[in-house]
Amino acid sequence: MGMDMELNERVTETVIRLPADVLPGGMDLTPQSSLREHGLDSISAVRVWFELQREFSLDLPVEKLGVRQSGAARRVCHRGAGRCATR
């Protein structure tokens, strides 16, 4: 598996895991899930945003977190092109 594909999978897993950790009831999210539809509020959005910033060393506008998870993962990879840490 190529480095880009591994990074994309890691980003997607993280973008799905983080919101599931902060949303009420530990929702099961998929790449097609919308955080707004699952009750993402401003405090939860900031928590997710902070963790993404910490994990991938980049700044993604917090308002982008209400989109579908697959789109959020693409935005993280796009914003962090060449900067995403491979931990």
Which CATH number is 56's domain given? Answer: 1.10.1200.10
Confidence at 84, pLDDT banded by 50, 70, 90: very low
On whether residue 48 sits in a domain, the answer given is yes
Beta carbons within 8 Å of 21's beta carbon, 6+ residues apart: none
On whether residue 53 sits in a domain, the answer given is yes
Distance between CA 78 and CA 74 in Å, rounded?
A: 6
Mean pLDDT along residues 32-43: 74
Distance between CA 82 and CA 68 in Å, rounded?
A: 23
Q: Which domain holds residue 44?
A: 3-79
DSSP letter at 68? B
On whether residue 57 sits in a domain, the answer given is yes
Considering the entire predicted model, what is its pTM?
0.56
Dihedral Cα 19, 10, 7, 65, nearest 10 deg: -10
On whether residue 86 sits in a domain, the answer given is no
How many domains would you assign to the chain?
1
Mean pLDDT along residues 8-26: 74
Confidence at 38, pLDDT banded by 50, 70, 90: confident
Distance between CA 21 and CA 28 in Å, rounded?
A: 10
